[in-house]
A and B are shown apart, each in its own frame.
Chain A
Amino acid sequence: KQEVTQIPAALSVPEGENLVLNCSFTDSAIYNLQWFRQDPGKGLTSLLLIQSSQREQTSGRLNASLDKSSGRSTLYIAASQPGDSATYLCAVKTGNQFYFGTGTSLTVIP
């Protein structure tokens, strides 16, 4: 069974800092990997989707990379802002199943 791990579980950084969130998965036979953010008590907002054939995707200050063979993805956030404070989740699609990590809780301190 696919297992998705996100490290660290929590991260606190000062405003303006660049940061990297990590996601690893045990089964490299994935169709895609998706990064989400979740604000407290709310649903998930899609940030980036990387297809299995792609190496990275960029949207504004966000850049996500995928190394399928090693079972890893990173989400790079440039020039962090207090509004970036949220929980960041990664999910992989394997077969017809979606597997999520438990997330990284990010706090950006003004």
Chain B
Amino acid sequence: ETGVTQTPRHLVMGMTNKKSLKCEQHLGHNAMYWYKQSAKKPLELMFVYNFKEQTENNSVPSRFSPECPNSSHLFLHLHTLQPEDSALYLCASSLFALAGGNEQFFGPGTRLTVL
């Protein structure tokens, strides 16, 4: 498998559930990202990992908990979500996350619905 993959593609959960989103990249990249895409709003960068270390957390509520066990895998653990958290969650990777020109490659996204 090539590129950036995400599972599941669709997820419906209640506000009290705990679930996890998974992202895997097969590009040999060292940086991985989580984005949130809500209707009519620009993509919002949530977290950045560079060589498994979190380098950015853009004031994301603690009900979203990222995990990066290695440079190829990224998880987003979800618990006690709110209906307004319903969105398309996109994972991306790039060669590095350092300042400079690195092209980002995106996965297909997970469509999350919180009831």
Task: Using CB atoms and an 8 Å cutoff, list the residues of chain A in contact with chain B.
Answer: 4, 31-32, 34, 36, 41-46, 49, 51-52, 89, 91, 93, 95-102
Task: Give the A-B pair count, Cβ closer than 8 A.
Answer: 62
Known: A99-B42, A102-B40. A42 touches B108 (CB 8 A): yes
Mark B93-115 against chain A: 1 for CB-CB distance below 8 A, else 0: 00001111111111111010000
Asked if A32 and B101 sit within 8 Å, CB to CB, the answer is yes
Show 26 residue pairs from A and B whose CB-CB distance is below 8 angstroms, ordered by the A residue. Answer: A31-B101, A32-B100, A34-B104, A36-B106, A41-B109, A41-B111, A42-B108, A42-B109, A43-B4, A43-B106, A43-B107, A43-B108, A43-B109, A44-B90, A44-B106, A46-B103, A51-B101, A52-B101, A91-B104, A93-B101, A95-B99, A96-B97, A96-B99, A99-B42, A102-B40, A102-B42
Interface size class of B (residues with CB under 8 A): 20 to 34
Q: Are B101 and A49 in contact (CB under 8 A)?
A: yes
Report the Cα distance A100→B97, complex, angstroms: 17
B interface residue numbers (CB < 8 A to A): 4, 6, 33, 40-43, 45, 48, 55-56, 58, 88, 90, 92, 97-109, 111
Enumerate the 4 nearest inter-chain pairs by beta-carbon distance, A residue then B residue, closest first.
Answer: A44-B106, A32-B101, A100-B43, A43-B106
